[in-house]
Structure 1
């Protein structure tokens, strides 16, 4: 489980499928109201408080993005408390008012802080027969997006292992990248990078 602060009132939590399996949660369970999921959420909020000082009391908007074969990204945004009622402080800490949004992305999406890391990942991916993908520049990072194979899940697992070594999974959508990012290579990004930049 990896937690990072996006802003004063927003954090992002990356859960691998191993994180879920360790807690006896299937990915389908994230869509259901079950005690294990509530326990996981409480654990995430405790870790967010310990690591980042993120106080999760009051109303929360929770977005859950499922990434193919990588895990889940959970974005938690703290809302402003509207109520002026005097509430028992201990009780308030135990209650999360949550508005949950669930989205599923079919795109394998990885961010690279360093162009050299992107090149290394691309050359290794090219070595196992991967040529496709689109490359963007967004918020000082290079983002490589590749559609998963419809027929070869082991290829996708190998690709994700390579990309994870050099970059980090990201939940930014193609729509956001098209709107706010800069598209550098529209298609066959892995092949183009390997042809233009030797290792």
Structure 2
């Protein structure tokens, strides 16, 4: 689990599938109103509160973005309370949850050689496509629009060479450098392997 403070009243929490699995949860448990999910949420808020020296009381808005086979990103916003509004003295946190999903798979790599080797493995596995980006000394391979039956295989191969990225795809497209807009797997294999 990784935490990042975005603003004074907003934090981002990235939870991998392994983090959920270690706690006996799946991504589907979010849609259920389970006790385990509420406990995990309160544990995350407590950790964020300690790390960022925040007092989290009252209402919070939670946006959850499910990253296909990678985990999820939660954006937690502490809702400003008016002075006249009744404060929660008993430490209760009221959640307003919004859930969104993404079929995009985004991984981060330290060097281009890892991306080239990965492209070769993806190509051999019959998984084409992708776009290649560079931002802040890291390479990013975005696989979108791949077949559902190939997604798990793609994530397994990508995890051998890189790590799931918590970077927003929108931020990457806005501020990163696009190296290959499409067919990155085939292009890398064509120029560097064949």
Pick the TM interval, shorter chain: 0.7 to 0.9
- TM-align CA RMSD: 3.2
Taking structure 1 as reference, are residues 151 and 5 closer, same or farther at Cα in structure 2, changes over 3 Å only? closer
1:5: which partner in 2?
Answer: 4
Distance (whole Å) between structure 2 residues aligned to residue 148 and residue 55 of structure 1: 41
Taking structure 1 as reference, are residues 86 and 156 closer, same or farther at Cα in structure 2, changes over 3 Å only? closer
Q: Which of 139, 150, 158 is the aligned partner of 1:142?
A: 139
CA contact (8 A) 2:13 2:74 kept: yes
TM-score, with structure 1 as normaliser: 0.74
2:129: which partner in 1?
Answer: 132
2:101: which partner in 1?
Answer: 104
1:162: which partner in 2?
Answer: 157
**1:36-185 correspondence to structure 2 within 5 Å:** 36-83=36-83, 87=87, 91=90, 94-138=91-135, 141-147=138-144, 149-150=146-147, 152=149, 155-165=150-160, 166-170=162-166, 172-173=168-169, 177-185=172-180
State the SS of the aligned residue for 2:3: strand
Q: Any stretches of 5+ residues in structure 2 without a counterpart?
A: none
Taking structure 1 as reference, are residues 77 and 86 closer, same or farther at Cα in structure 2, changes over 3 Å only? closer
Q: Any stretches of 5+ residues in structure 1 without a counterpart?
A: none
TM-score, with structure 2 as normaliser: 0.75
